[in-house]
A and B are shown apart, each in its own frame.
Chain A
Amino acid sequence: QSALIQPASVSGSPGQSITISCTGTNRDVGAYDYVSWYQQYPGKAPKLVIYDVRYRPSGISSRFSGSKSGNTASLTISGLQAEDEADYHCSSYTTINTRVFGGGTKLTVL
């Protein structure tokens, strides 16, 4: 199984909105609404911020939102804050009952 494709880096200024894409195939992202997104600070474990494409776990800010179109999922962070600067990873369930991650995207808040 091949890793999902994410941009290596994105950046934005405080208050702006950014979107991180996650591109797969019809054997993973496009097959099910089982895409999740994780936020990871340096040296820390990842934290779930979106599951099942668009749902936020309890305690996650409404500034985080997810969507999907075809084989590409997206994570949007609105009202960007300095604390959002982190790495973001997407993951998808696959048609062979496994999971696959993307390569990760480094978000820089300018």
Chain B
Amino acid sequence: QVQLQQWGAGLLKPGETLSLTCAVYGGSVRGHFWSWIRQPPGKGLEWIGELNDSGRSSYNPSLKSRVTLSVDTSKNQVSLTLSGVTAADTGVFYCARGQAAAATGHWGQGTLVIVSS
């Protein structure tokens, strides 16, 4: 059973860089797309981007300039960095594994990130 365990700093100041890591247990990072998705408080889901272990990636156009996604096959982990955060970036961030052509079947537990001065 694949499990995703994520962690990272939960409180940031405006202008800082958000950094989250997602460890994959019970499966390999190889051969799958890995997505990051966020959810502002009380709102819907927003797709941030995805990539696979071959380096093929895709990003939400509205976030592309601030987002870096990476896969570490040696540690079986995927990571997200989001630079220049503002209060509008506050929310729960999820890592997730791709399923079928464009769905996500396994999700991490979510990490609440608050941006406040």
Contacts and interface: CB of A to CB of B under 8 A. Distances in A.
Interface of A: 1, 3, 6, 32, 34, 36, 38, 45-48, 51-52, 55, 57, 89, 91-93, 96-104
B104 A48 contact: yes
Contact of A34 (B37, B58, B101): B101
A81 to B, nearest CB: 23
B73 interface: no
B61 interface: yes
Given A34-B102, A36-B103, A45 B109 contact: yes
B64 to A, nearest CB: 9
Contact of A45 (B58, B61, B62, B107): B107
B110 interface: yes
B103 A97 contact: no
Interface string B49-71: 01000000011111000000000
A103 B44 CA distance: 5
Interface residues of B, number: 25
B4 to A, nearest CB: 9
A93 B47 CA distance: 11
B94 interface: yes
B105 interface: yes
Contacts of B47: 91, 98-101
A91 B60 CA distance: 13
24 contacts: A1-B60, A32-B102, A38-B45, A45-B94, A45-B108, A45-B109, A48-B105, A51-B99, A51-B102, A52-B101, A55-B100, A57-B99, A89-B44, A89-B45, A91-B103, A92-B102, A93-B102, A98-B47, A99-B35, A100-B47, A101-B44, A101-B45, A101-B46, A101-B47
B44 A52 contact: no
Contacts of A45: 94, 107-110
Contacts of B75: none
